[in-house]
């Protein structure tokens, strides 16, 4: 449905040329104006995507709308005030005329220099002011019975300064009988007081400009640290990750953003440092077996007659095995870092430990002690690698025996302890052995073929399963190491279902 607002303009010819009133109706469709204004606003906002410009335009438009609404409200108040003052003046003039007639004043020409008429109940004009003389009676409803006065606004009266008038009517008792005194004046227009209205109209662009300027300055001051952060980030490269963005002194959202950016740069710097150290360690670990292979091949080529084929091939095979072990461990690390959402199933740790112990012979005697079935949820191959790494590590360092204890601890933890009777590890080194490519001096002496990645991979697997892996002293005061693996155990109900 299309709504149309009509404004009627009345035009009256001056006296003497014949009274003729013309009405011109202007129809305005508000929804079209609103739609056009909305499109214009969005066109400006989209053309200037900067936050500062958008904030300034939005604030200026809001100030324009609010100041315009305030201006319209003030015009209404001015019009009401002018109407009230006119009614008050008309009532004062009408009261004087009513008092004059009630005291027996002579009817005919009234002394007031206003628009007044005195009319009998049958509609006959018995008195009028100079400007109302000779005009037909004012058509206006009489006052109610319980009152002697009525105020109102009426159009179409034959009176000067038309077309619409404010009318104050009094009912008066005179010696000649009841009379109606009409006092009228032209109704105030839309802008009854042009000068105050013009001053207030000048306030609209002034307020809009001040709000826009204040918003621009405030947004510029607020976004200045953001620009500094952006410039600093543009200059940071992989070779100077130690640089940080400036943090504003104010405790606001921009300062929190700068702190988050610096924290991210800290983590990035640490990750890059770890990556560089990892690449360096990988290069070092791969260099040794490759150098051994090259040396054996060069000796075989240089002295083919003096070469023991079986011994040379055995040395080459050992270096190849070491190289393959490093590559396998690197692939395992890469898979763990790339995808921790591997396939999971219910796994019995007791059964898995027995399988890994019996899979190949070991140097030391390995004993598995279990309180029964201990089940967890995880990747079978990943957990098998974890147990194999722990048992192999204990076998390399043990003197004669390795013990694997499997059980549960309240409230719902599956615990695997791998204990050896070796030299043990000093407390200062118990966390360092879980770092990649970390091999203590004693370990290098006992096992030169290790990669230094087994324990790091084991802890990563434990953490990927929501568990922990740590190193402690033995509980029986015997020299050696005790690795403790804790994993979330399956609840008893799920064990029975399986």
Assign residue 301 the CATH number of its domain: 1.10.287.130
Question: Are both 451 and 478 inside the same structural domain?
Answer: yes
Question: Are both 257 and 150 inside the same structural domain?
Answer: no
Q: Pick the residue with more confidence: 447 or 349?
A: 349
Mean pLDDT over residues 263-282, rounded? Answer: 80
Question: Are both 68 and 152 inside the same structural domain?
Answer: yes
Residue 283, classed as helix, strand or coil, is helix
Q: What's the rounded Cα separation, in Å, for the pair 157 and 137?
A: 9
Q: Pick the residue with more confidence: 337 or 207?
A: 207
pLDDT at 230 over 80: yes
Mean pLDDT over residues 398-421, rounded? Answer: 92
Q: What digits encode the pLDDT tens for the residues 101-113?
A: 877 766 555 666 7
The domain in which residue 481 lies consists of 340-497
Report residue 186 as tokens: 């032209």
Report residue 99 as tokens: 């008092």
Residue where one domain finishes, among candidates 176, 202, 235? 235
Q: What digits encode the pLDDT tens for the residues 176-224?
A: 888 899 999 888 887 778 888 888 888 888 998 999 899 888 888 888 8
Question: Are both 221 and 316 inside the same structural domain?
Answer: no
Question: Are both 301 and 432 inside the same structural domain?
Answer: no
Q: What's the rounded Cα separation, in Å, for the pair 433 and 456?
A: 8
Residue where one domain finishes, among candidates 206, 235, 264? 235
The DSSP secondary-structure symbol of 304 reads T
Per-residue model confidence (pLDDT) at position 14: 40
Question: Are both 192 and 216 inside the same structural domain?
Answer: yes
Per-residue model confidence (pLDDT) at position 300: 79
pLDDT at 482 over 90: yes
Task: Classify residue 260: in a domain, yes or no.
Answer: yes
Report residue 321 as tokens: 């095995």
* Lowest-confidence pick of 203-217, 278-292, 380-394, 463-477: 278-292
Residue 387: pLDDT band by 50, 70, 90 thresholds? very high
Mean pLDDT over residues 76-90, rounded? Answer: 89
Per-residue model confidence (pLDDT) at position 451: 65
Task: Classify residue 22: in a domain, yes or no.
Answer: no
Q: What's the rounded Cα separation, in Å, for the pair 412 and 488?
A: 6
Per-residue model confidence (pLDDT) at position 247: 87
Quote the mean pLDDT of the chain. 80
Q: What's the rounded Cα separation, in Å, for the pair 410 and 63?
A: 66
* 289-293: long-range contacts, CB 8 A cutoff, minimum separation 24: 289/319, 289/320, 289/322, 289/323, 289/326, 290/319, 290/323, 292/318, 292/319, 293/319, 293/320, 293/323
For 329-477, list the strands marked E by DSSP: 345-348, 365-370, 375-378, 401-409, 413-420, 468-472
Question: Are both 389 and 413 inside the same structural domain?
Answer: yes
Q: What is the DSSP code string of 152-167?
A: EEEE--S-TT-SEEEE
pLDDT at 402 over 70: yes
Task: Classify residue 305: in a domain, yes or no.
Answer: yes
pLDDT at 132 over 70: yes
pLDDT at 81 over 50: yes
In DSSP terms, 414 is beta-bridged to 408, 487
Task: Classify residue 40: in a domain, yes or no.
Answer: no
Residue 381: pLDDT band by 50, 70, 90 thresholds? confident
Residue 26: pLDDT band by 50, 70, 90 thresholds? very low
Candidate ranges 56-70, 286-300, 311-325; pick with highest mean pLDDT = 56-70
Report the percent of the chain where pLDDT is more than 70. Answer: 83
Q: Pick the residue with more confidence: 17 or 348?
A: 348
Question: Are both 74 and 171 inside the same structural domain?
Answer: yes
Question: Are both 75 and 210 inside the same structural domain?
Answer: yes
Residue 286: pLDDT band by 50, 70, 90 thresholds? confident
CATH of the domain at 358: 3.30.565.10
Mean pLDDT over residues 154-159, rounded? Answer: 86
Split into its structural domains, the chain has a count of 3
Please name the residues in contact with 279: beta carbons below 8 A apart, sequence gap of 6 or more.
none
Mean pLDDT over residues 133-150, rounded? Answer: 89
Question: Are both 368 and 465 inside the same structural domain?
Answer: yes
Task: Classify residue 36: in a domain, yes or no.
Answer: no
Residue where one domain finishes, among candidates 235, 258, 289? 235
Per-residue model confidence (pLDDT) at position 368: 93
| Inter-residue contact 384 to 353 (CB < 8 Å) | no
In DSSP terms, 186 is beta-bridged to 165
Question: Are both 421 and 461 inside the same structural domain?
Answer: yes
Q: Pick the residue with more confidence: 34 or 39?
A: 39
Mean pLDDT over residues 117-129, rounded? Answer: 88
First to last CA, the chain: 68
pLDDT at 252 over 90: no
Q: Pick the residue with more confidence: 278 or 87?
A: 87
Q: What digits encode the pLDDT tens for the residues 423-477?
A: 888 888 888 888 877 766 555 545 555 567 788 888 988 988 899 999 999 888 8
Task: Classify residue 423: in a domain, yes or no.
Answer: yes
Residue 38: pLDDT band by 50, 70, 90 thresholds? low
| Inter-residue contact 329 to 457 (CB < 8 Å) | yes
Mean pLDDT over residues 119-148, rounded? Answer: 88
pTM: 0.50
Report the percent of the chain where pLDDT is more than 90. Answer: 18
Task: Classify residue 9: in a domain, yes or no.
Answer: no
Question: Are both 73 and 211 inside the same structural domain?
Answer: yes
| Inter-residue contact 437 to 450 (CB < 8 Å) | no
Task: Classify residue 374: in a domain, yes or no.
Answer: yes
Per-residue model confidence (pLDDT) at position 240: 77
Report residue 334 as tokens: 């890469």
Q: Which residues of 305-343 are buried (b: 16+ CB within 10 A; e: fewer)?
A: eeeeeeeeeebbebbeebbebbeebbebbeebeeeeeee
Per-residue model confidence (pLDDT) at position 390: 92
Q: Which of 166, 188, 198 is nearest to 79 (CA)?
A: 188
Per-residue model confidence (pLDDT) at position 248: 84
């Amino acid at each position: 449905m299309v709504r149309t607002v009509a404004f009627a303009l009345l035009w009256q010819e001056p006296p003497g040329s014949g009274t003729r009133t013309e009405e011109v109706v202007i129809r305005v469709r508000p929804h079209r104006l609103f739609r056009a204004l909305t499109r214009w606003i969005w066109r400006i906002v989209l053309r200037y995507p900067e936050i500062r410009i958008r904030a300034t335009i939005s604030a200026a438009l809001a100030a324009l709308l609010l100041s315009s609404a305030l201006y319209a409200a003030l015009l209404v108040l001015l019009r009401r005030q002018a109407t009230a003052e006119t009614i008050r003046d008309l009532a004062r003039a009408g009261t004087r005329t009513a008092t004059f007639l009630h005291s027996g004043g002579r009817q005919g020409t009234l002394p007031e220099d206003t628009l007044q008429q005195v009319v009998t109940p049958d509609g006959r004009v018995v008195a009028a002011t100079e400007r109302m003389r000779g005009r037909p009676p004012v058509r206006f409803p009489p006052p109610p019975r319980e009152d002697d006065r009525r105020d109102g606004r009426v159009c179409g009266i034959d009176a000067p300064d038309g077309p619409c008038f404010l009318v104050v009517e009094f009912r008066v008792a005179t010696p000649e009988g009841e009379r109606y005194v009409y006092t009228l004046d032209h109704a105030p227009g839309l802008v009854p007081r042009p000068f105050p209205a013009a001053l207030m109209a000048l306030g609209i662009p002034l307020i809009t400009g001040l709000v826009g300027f204040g918003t621009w300055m405030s947004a510029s001051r607020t976004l200045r640290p953001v620009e500094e952060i952006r410039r600093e980030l543009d200059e940071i490269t992989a070779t100077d990750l130690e640089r940080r963005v400036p943090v504003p002194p104010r405790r606001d959202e921009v300062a929190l953003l700068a702190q988050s950016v610096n924290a991210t740069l800290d983590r990035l710097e640490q990750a890059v440092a770890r990556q560089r150290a990892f690449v360096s360690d990988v290069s070092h670990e791969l260099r040794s077996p490759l150098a051994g292979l090259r040396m054996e091949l060069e000796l075989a080529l240089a002295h083919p007659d003096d070469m023991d084929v079986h011994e040379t091939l055995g040395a080459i095979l050992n270096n190849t095995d070491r190289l393959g072990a490093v590559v396998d461990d690197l692939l395992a690390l890469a898979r763990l870092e790339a995808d921790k959402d591997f396939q999971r199933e219910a796994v019995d740790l007791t059964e898995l430990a027995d399988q890994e112990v019996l899979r190949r012979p070991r140097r030391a005697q390995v004993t598995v002690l279990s309180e029964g079935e201990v089940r967890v949820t995880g990747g079978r191959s990943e957990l098998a690698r974890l147990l194999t790494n722990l048992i192999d590590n204990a076998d390399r360092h043990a003197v004669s025996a390795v013990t694997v204890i499997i059980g549960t601890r309240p409230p719902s933890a599956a615990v695997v302890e791998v204990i050896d009777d070796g030299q043990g590890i000093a407390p200062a080194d118990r966390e360092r052995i879980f770092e990649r490519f970390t091999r203590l001096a004693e370990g290098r002496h006992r096992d030169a073929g290790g990669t230094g990645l087994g324990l790091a991979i084991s802890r990563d697997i434990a953490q990927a399963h929501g568990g922990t892996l740590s190193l402690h002293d033995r509980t029986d005061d015997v020299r050696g190491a005790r690795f403790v693996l804790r994993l979330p155990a399956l609840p008893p109900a799920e064990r029975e279902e399986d």
